[in-house]
Structure 1
C-alpha cells in the first residue's frame, strides 16, 4: 500500500483545508547560515507553513506506530498533510508544536532519547503508558488529550480520509474520522480530529 502526495491533498480537502503553494512544493525551516538580521526581522514564522525536520520526524514516527505495517510513502504523505493543516493556522500550529514537544520530552525523560529515535514497539508503549489510547481528543485538555488530538487523531484522519487509506476499510472517500486500528482509532464516523462534523477545520 503506497501513500502519495495526491492522497495527502485529498485528505486535506476532506479536512476543509485550503492548499497553498507552500504545501505543493513542500517547505521545511532548517537554519539559514546566510540569513541576515533584516530577513529575520521581516519574516513572520507564525504565518509560514514551514515546519522543522525534527517535528516531521516525530510525526512520521508516530504514523509508523498507528498506520498499517505495509504502508509505503508515509513520510512524504505525512509532510504534505501536516504542512497543509498548519498553513495560515498559527493557533493550530502552536498547539501541534506544544503537543509534539511534550511527547518528545516524555520520551527523553523516560528513555533518554528522542521519540523518533525509539524502536516502534517502544513508541507504541509510550503512547499507551501516557494513556493516549483512551484519551479524549481535546486541544484544550491535559497533554495526553492534546497528543491524542494533534498527533494521533489527526494522523489517523489523514490516512483514512485518503483514497488509499479509505480503500483499506472499504470507503474510498470517507466522511469525517472513520475510526481505525484497534484502540487508537475510536473516534466516530461523524467527527473530524477537532470534534466537529466533517468538513470542519478542527478549530
Structure 2
C-alpha cells in the first residue's frame, strides 16, 4: 500500500485546506518557549518518524505523505504552532533520554518512547499534559491523515473517505479487494 502526496492533498481538501502541499517549509519555524527555533527539517523528520511507527507496516511512501500533510495542516497558525511545539518537545525528550533525535532512533525505540510517554493511552487534549498533547497533535493527527486518505481508508474498508470523490454510485457498487459480495445492498 503506497501513500502518495495526492492522498495527503485529498485529506487536506477534505479539511478545507486548498493547495495543502504548496506551503513553504519555513512555515514550520516559529520560536519555541525558550526562544530557540526548531528546525523545520527536524520537525518534519520527527513527524515522519512518528508516522513510521504508528502506521501499519504495509504502508509505503510515508515520508512524502506525512510531509505534505504536515505542511498543509500547519497553514492553520494555531494548530501548526501546537503541532510544531509538541513535535519539538518529543524530539527534546528523545535527545534527553536516548541522546539522539527522535527520527534517528530505531523504530522499536521510537515505539517504546511513545508508549513510555503514554501516547497510546492518553486522552487527546490539545492543551493538556505532554502525553495528551502528544496524542492529540502527533499521534491522532497522523492517524487521522492516514485513515482519511483514499489509500489508508481502503485498508480499513472505507472505500470513499470524506473529501474524496465517489458519490452514490461508488457507494452502491463498491467492492473491496477480497470482498465476495456483489456490492449490492442486502436489505
Question: CA 1:24 to 1:124, structure 2 compared with 1: closer, same or farther past 3 Å?
Answer: closer
User: 2:82 & 2:91 partners in 1: Cα distance?
Assistant: 14
Moved more, 91-100 or 143-152: 91-100
User: 2:126 & 2:162 partners in 1: Cα distance?
Assistant: 21
Paired residues for 1:122-137 under 5 Å = 122-137=109-124
2:145 aligns with one of 146, 153, 158: 158
Aligned match of 2:65: 77
Deviation at 1:27, TM superposition (A): 2.7
Aligned length: 154
Aligned match of 2:108: 121
TM-score by length of 2: 0.76
Question: CA 1:26 to 1:140, structure 2 compared with 1: closer, same or farther past 3 Å?
Answer: closer
Aligned match of 1:145: 132
User: 1:110 & 1:5 partners in 2: Cα distance?
Assistant: 33
Deviation sequence 1:7-60 (CA, Å, 0-9, x none): 11111133x23223xx34453239xxxxxxxxxxxxxx76xxxx8111110000
Task: Extract structure 1 runs of 4+ deviating beyond 2 A.
Answer: 23-27, 172-176
User: 2:143 & 2:50 partners in 1: Cα distance?
Assistant: 10
User: 2:83 & 2:7 partners in 1: Cα distance?
Assistant: 21
In structure 1, the gaps of 5 or more residues are 31-44, 177-203
- Name the larger-Rg structure: 2
Deviation at 1:103, TM superposition (A): 0.7
User: 2:70 & 2:45 partners in 1: Cα distance?
Assistant: 12
User: 1:171 & 1:112 partners in 2: Cα distance?
Assistant: 41
TM-score by length of 1: 0.71
SS in 2 for 1:132: coil
2:97 aligns with one of 98, 110, 116: 110
Tell me, yes or no, if the aligned pair for 1:17 and 1:84 is still in contact at 8 Å: no
Paired residues for 1:182-193 under 5 Å = none
Question: CA 1:25 to 1:90, structure 2 compared with 1: closer, same or farther past 3 Å?
Answer: closer
User: 1:109 & 1:173 partners in 2: Cα distance?
Assistant: 43
Aligned match of 1:38: none
Deviation at 1:90, TM superposition (A): 1.3
Deviation at 1:101, TM superposition (A): 1.4
1:61 aligns with one of 49, 53, 77: 49
Tell me, yes or no, if the aligned pair for 1:161 and 1:173 is still in contact at 8 Å: no
